[in-house]
Amino acid sequence: MTSPFLSSEEYDERAHQLYNEGNYDDALVTLREGLGLYPNAVELHVGVGYARVAREEFAWARRSFEEALVLDPDHEDALAGLGETLLRFGQTSGAVKSFRRILELGYHDDIELMLQVGRALFRDGLMEEAKEFFDIAIQEVPDNAEAVAMIGYTEHRLGEDDAAIATLRRALTLDADYTEARIYLGNILYDRGEYEAALYHLDKTAPEDHWDELGIWRLIELKKSTYRLRDDDPSLKPWDERLNELDEDPDAIDEMLAEIEQNANSEATGEAKGQLELFGALLADLAQEKQSDVAHDVIGRDGLRYEGSWDEIVEQMRIASAQSTRSVLEFMQSEARRGLALTGILISTADAESFVRGSSDAGMLRILR
């Protein structure tokens, strides 16, 4: 007689398929069902952890990874998942220790795992540590365009722009269709004032390749000035339409920024649970008292200088930008998205001071006074 139950491996495989389809809720249901039958199945605990991460339920994800590691202390995927969740809670040393344990266990040749760990460290601003894992991946597979590009991103974040440009060009030599690297390279070249080279790369992308407004705004600007196009030129229409799509359909980044803004402007209560605990430290930093009556001095990456109160500085930045027709809040949100895309650092848009200080922390400008 055939057993009515699936094996733990079959539950894991079914959940993995649902996960890859982006159906995290059903994947979680499947994994829970499997654990009801096989409570000691490590892979199912690990699967629950990653499903929780995808749902941004980091406290629960951490618990699942820890349960997996109780059953198998040297499970590489559980160690990687635990490290990612620890980073979300600001426990950097514990996260790095978990990641390094993976190396001690000899998983250098697991390229996807090395890239996963490197990306997690990159998102948390740990550039030197991230670069170490990307370098390991390159040593194993020198022609992996994604790993090469990630090294280029870290070099840029470390202020090594010449090296970053050379590395990103190498990534594009390996894979000319790697649009993420091409867009990143185009933005670096634009920031350096190498507009012809920036246009060359950005013009090789399609509107649907862009998930951030920055590259599109710059491409439109460069095409107008280089080819003397009018605002209503037909060749710009697809790019304008993509900008409208990005404005109308906020993605996960927009929703995260909006949630942080909302939480930063509300009082913490004793009922704050689940996700709010993840933002506790962040909200404390954002709850600084405004000092709008104090004159400040700020210099942007473009060399322009702004003086006045925090509100006045942001208003000056908005007017000087290509987004002068937008509201101040829309300008800050757009710049926060740009900063996140370029640096991986969240910039608060709760108020002018938080925005300027966050932009400074992300290296997007420098506060002189």
Taking the C-alpha atoms of residue 85 and residue 302, their distance in angstroms, rounded to an integer, is: 36
Mean pLDDT of the region 134-157: 96
- In DSSP notation, 78-147 reads HHHHHHHHHHHTT-HHHHHHHHHHHHHTT-TT-HHHHHHHHHHHHHTT-HHHHHHHHHHHHHH-TT-HHH
Residue 290, in any domain of the structure: yes
Mean pLDDT score across all residues of the chain: 85
Q: Quick check: 110 pLDDT over 90?
A: yes
The domain boundary residue, chosen from 107, 129, 147: 107
Residue 56, in any domain of the structure: yes
The pLDDT assigned to 219 comes to: 94
Residue 63, in any domain of the structure: yes
335, 326, 294, 330: which is closest to 311 by C-alpha?
Answer: 294
Structural domain count, the chain: 2
pTM: 0.66
| Residue type at 95 in one-letter notation | A
The pLDDT assigned to 291 comes to: 40
> Which residues does residue 27 pair with via DSSP β-bridges, in sequence order?
none
Quick check: 149 and 178 in contact, CB under 8 A? yes
Least confidently predicted of 30-39, 83-92, 107-116, 238-247: 238-247
Quick check: 102 and 113 in contact, CB under 8 A? yes
* CATH number for the domain harbouring residue 5: 1.25.40.10
Taking the C-alpha atoms of residue 223 and residue 199, their distance in angstroms, rounded to an integer, is: 7
Residue 184, in any domain of the structure: no
Q: Quick check: 241 pLDDT over 50?
A: yes
The pLDDT assigned to 321 comes to: 79
Residue 248, in any domain of the structure: no
Residue 171, in any domain of the structure: no
> Which residues does residue 300 pair with via DSSP β-bridges, in sequence order?
365
The parent domain of residue 15 ranges over 1-107
- The residue with greater pLDDT, 303 or 258, is 303
Residue 7, in any domain of the structure: yes
The domain boundary residue, chosen from 107, 139, 164: 107
Residue 345, in any domain of the structure: yes
Least confidently predicted of 53-67, 301-315, 337-351: 337-351
The domain boundary residue, chosen from 59, 78, 107: 107
Q: Quick check: 170 pLDDT over 80?
A: yes
Confidence of residue 365 (pLDDT cuts 50, 70, 90): confident
Taking the C-alpha atoms of residue 157 and residue 274, their distance in angstroms, rounded to an integer, is: 32
Q: Quick check: 247 pLDDT over 80?
A: no
216, 180, 211: which is closest to 199 by C-alpha?
Answer: 216
What order do you get walking across the sheet with 365-367 strand by strand?
A: 305-308, 296-300, 365-367
